Amino acid sequence: MKFNHLTIYKAAFIVIALSSCGKGFVDLKPISSITTGNFYQTEEDFKNAVNGAYAALRSGGTYGGDSYIFGEVRSDNSMPVASGSVTDQDEFDRFYIRTTNPYINNRWSNSYTAIARCNAILDRIGAITMSDALKDRYIGEAKFLRALYYFNLVRTFGDVPLVLKEITNPDEGYEYGRAPKADVYAQIEKDLTEAEAALPPNYTAAADIGRATKGAAKSILGRVLLAQKKFAPAAIQLKAVIDSKVYDLVPVYADFFKVNNKKNIEAIFDVQYKSGGVGQGNGWPNSFAPQNSGNAVIMFGGGGNNIPSDDLINAYEAGDARKAATVATSYVNASGATIPGNFVKKYFDVPALANDNANNIPIIRYADVLLMYAECLNEASYVPDGDAFDYLNDVRDRADLDPLTAIEVPDQQSFRLAIEQERRVEFAFENLRWYDLVRTDRAITVINGKAAQINLVNPVTENNLVFPIPQSQVDINKTKITPNEGAN
């Protein structure tokens, strides 16, 4: 969130303290009711609390540091630095995840900590005196964020506990079992619908740029509906975003990701970062730069994570402007030698400190709305060279590619594959690939078809379309929190 970065950092620290406890799932219980009672008292307190709910987007297990492991390493797009050895990330890459893997535990615990922040806001704000307009907006922002966090949970684990109120007694946490994913999705849809009604179309104050808007709520709702194959309702939401004329494609693809262009017209909702030693920097540019590259690629060196697969490199058509903006296959070291090796180039900055970059991480942007809408139109009815082609080709045109026609894409299934291909190269390393493959029922076919390339430990089955429930959660509440049998 670009707004009030130092305030957010302070708020994040406060709300983390208010949401901590040492008992697994009951981390949702505030550590001190006296402390929380003193905190949620004023309009300023609620501004800080809402900012803290946004700050949770940067957590490793939500939409921040570790999210690429779920969306990219799990797919055919990339691999971890030590693929082939027994590492926590390698388990995602080659499908043998332990129930004790720290990344799945972080997704669960970080998400529920974030949800606890949202629930505390929603339960307590009614008693506070402030303008109705501001109160409604804060409620809308909290519901929007709660929906985002639950969306990550349900598409990661399937059935998950659905907690919609502040937990004030540690024993309450044990009452929540895994709710059916249909119920979780219904709540996500409800939260986003109510958020859209309360949120403004945009913000005029510079300090508020980056907060959730009507367009963000509609866009995410479209994605949520599409994930459930609710194509007609999704199309309504996505077309409303298009017709609003609030958003457009940035003319040059690479410009979207430039640090000095974060307020651009294509950005619908991002995870906001700020460099400068204030604890809000993005570590991805350093993490993704090649190992042992010194300062040749980025200051303070690289971790070699999220290595693009050759399969992805080869997926780009000749002349696709997105390739050079997204990936590199070599770099020149300090001695002037060319060092071969794939790495992610999309996120780049000049960090003030190691892992302290200013790049935002996009959660949804306008190109995604266009491609999702094209997909919905095709699912309703394939029309040769119809409107779905226009929206698909808008994205291709920006990439300097020729338009596709019914000659190359002659039927509904081939259009589905064209969308799949376009999404892969358009959103590479934006953490959508694995979830796209799952929602289109293509994950098993695609990943097993590349078993030798990926060096799979286990063939992908239906069980692998969700991740294991963290063992710590099963152990602490065995009667309510059941494992995902066979998931790995």
Q: Is the pLDDT of residue 13 over 60?
A: no
Position 83 confidence tier, pLDDT thresholds 50, 70, 90 = low
Which comes out higher in pLDDT, residue 321 or 174? 321
Return the number of other C-beta atoms located less than 10 Å from residue 376's C-beta: 24
Three-state SS for the chain is: CCCCHHHHHHHHHHHHHHCCCCCHHHHHCCCCHHHHHHHCCCHHHHHHHHHHHHHHHHCCCCCCCCHHHHHHHCCCCEECCCECECCHHHHHHHCCCCCCCHHHHHHHHHHHHHHHHHHHHHHHHHHCCCCHHHHHHHHHHHHHHHHHHHHHHHHHHCCECCCCCCCCCHHHHHHCCCECHHHHHHHHHHHHHHHHHHCCCCCCCHHHCCCCCHHHHHHHHHHHHHHCCCHHHHHHHHHHHHHHCCCCCCCCHHHHHCHHHCCCCCEEEEECCCCCCCCCCECHHHHHCCECCCCCCCCCCECCCCEECHHHHCCCCCCCHHHHHHEEEEEECCCCCEEEEEEECCCCCCCCCCCCECCCEEEEEHHHHHHHHHHHHHHHCCCCCCHHHHHHHHHHHHCCCCCCCCCCCCCHHHHHHHHHHHHHHHCCCCCCHHHHHHHCCCHHHHHHCCHHHHCCCCCCCHHHHCCCCCHHHHHHCCCCCCCCCCCC
* Cα–Cα dist 396/401, whole Å: 5
pLDDT at residue 2, as a whole number: 40
Q: Would the pLDDT of 6 be above 80?
A: no
Q: Tell me, what's the pLDDT at 112?
A: 96
- For residues 40 and 480, which has the higher predicted lDDT (pLDDT)? 480
Average pLDDT over residues 394-399: 98
Section 365-375 average pLDDT: 98
Q: Is the pLDDT at 266 greater than 80, yes or no? A: yes
As its CATH architecture, domain 5-227+466-476 has: Alpha Horseshoe (1.25)
How far from 380 is each of 218, 231, 239, 420, CA to CA, in Å? 20, 7, 14, 17
pLDDT tens across 113-162, in order?
Answer: 999 999 999 999 988 889 999 999 999 999 999 999 999 999 999 999 99
In the prediction, which pLDDT does 239 show?
Answer: 98
Q: Which pLDDT value is given to residue 36?
A: 57
Mean pLDDT, residues 258-286: 93
Do residues 219 and 147 make contact, with C-beta atoms less than 8 angstroms apart?
no
> Length of the chain in residues, anyone?
488
Report how far apart, in Å, the C-alpha atoms of 355 and of each of 2, 277, 284 are.
18, 10, 7
Are the C-beta atoms of 83 and 90 separated by less than 8 Å? yes
Q: How far is CA 440 from CA 94, 153, 386, 419, in A?
A: 21, 19, 22, 11
> Which residues are within 8 A (CB) of 301 and not within 5 positions of it... i.e. 6 or more apart?
286, 289, 291, 292, 293, 294, 295, 354
pLDDT at 15 over 60: no
**Tokens found for residue 47:** 């501004």
| 99 CB neighbour count, 10 Å cutoff | 19
Q: How far apart, in whole angstroms, are the C-alpha atoms of residue 283 and residue 469?
A: 27
**Phi, psi values for residue 365, rounded to 5°:** -135, 170
State what percent of residues in the chain have pLDDT above 90.
83
What is residue 35's predicted lDDT score, i.e. its pLDDT? 53
For position 486, what pLDDT does the model report? Answer: 86
Greater confidence, 375 or 65? 375
Confidence of residue 370 (pLDDT cuts 50, 70, 90): very high
pLDDT for residue 40: 82
**pLDDT of residue 29 exceeding 80:** no
Asked if pLDDT for residue 179 goes beyond 90, the answer is yes
Is the pLDDT reported for residue 104 higher than 60?
Answer: yes
pTM over 0.75: yes
Please say if the pLDDT value at position 319 is more than 90.
yes
Residue 17 has pLDDT above 50, yes or no: no
Q: Is residue 459 within 8 Å of 442, Cβ to Cβ?
A: no
Give me the phi and psi of 68, to 5 degrees please.
-65, -25
* Domain coordinates in residue numbering, the chain: 5-227+466-476
The C-alpha atoms of residue 289 and residue 344 are separated, in whole angstroms, by 7
**Of 235, 248, 225, the residue nearest 388 (C-alpha):** 235
Mean pLDDT of the chain: 91
> Measured between alpha carbons, how far is 163 from 177 in angstroms, rounded to an integer?
10
pLDDT band with cut points at 50, 70 and 90 for residue 41: confident
By mean pLDDT, which of 125-134, 208-217, 372-381 is the weakest? 125-134
**What are the tens digits of pLDDT across the range 410-455?**
999 999 999 999 999 999 999 999 999 999 999 999 999 999 999 9
